[in-house]
Homo-oligomer: A and B are copies of this chain.
Amino acid sequence: MRFSPLLDELIKSLQILPSVGPKSAQRMAFALLERQRSGGRRLAHVLDEALEKIGHCRQCRTFTEEDICPLCANPKRAQSGQLCIVESPADVVAIEQTGQYLGRYFVLMGHLSPLDGVGPEELGLDKLEHWLGDEAFSELILATNPTVEGEATAYYIADIAKHHGVSVSRIAHGVPIGGELELVDGNTLSHSFMGRKHFDNS
């Protein structure tokens, strides 16, 4: 025997969460049943409501329960004329936390990966092209991840932008602030040499 049918089903259902196997699912189910009944029921309700209501922003594709996300709806964000392309909503949050960037975003929800069936359409690049056609952006900032797929996606989008005459930039890659040179991998180090800037000591 295993556990009671309902408990078995709970343990099985919890395993759809990423990196949760049978053992962790069991631990989670016990923790909820033993100590977190009210929190667990709250989780059940929030989860149900979130999966029911949260969709994608009509303009930038990030997750939101509104038709248009707060960032796209903010008229101040349109003033800079900049559009930053990122892979995921988590990247938007990371960039927002720097407080440096005041433009708008376009969230790809992934990167080009033909082998997994992720092509330009899955990333909403047709939507992006429409947007570039409708609005005159001053700059497109490519902030996809510095991975092989992220770079390929950035090149692909740069190509689209060129057709629309929008100036394109890529975020800088190099040695992280606070990092030690000897601990940085060779690829990053060579990027930081290629991307060096003249020291302005005037």
- Chain A residues close to B by CB (< 8 Å): 1-7, 9-10, 13-14, 16-19, 24, 26-34, 36-37, 39-54, 63-66, 69-71, 88-90, 93, 96, 109
CB <8 Å contact, B89 and A46: no
CB <8 Å contact, B48 and A41: yes
Please measure, in the bound complex, the distance between the C-alpha atom of A48 and the C-alpha atom of B133, giving whole angstroms.
47
CB <8 Å contact, B88 and A30: yes
CB <8 Å contact, B10 and A50: yes
CB <8 Å contact, A9 and B50: yes
CB <8 Å contact, B70 and A6: no
Contact status of A13 and B93, CB under 8 A, knowing A4-B63, A54-B6, A54-B7: no
Contact status of A49 and B6, CB under 8 A, knowing A1-B96, A27-B18, A44-B44: yes
10 smallest CB-CB distances across A and B, nearest first, come from: A44-B48, A16-B39, A44-B47, A13-B43, A10-B50, A4-B64, A13-B46, A18-B31, A6-B65, A44-B44
Contacts of A3 in B (CB 8 A): 63, 89, 93
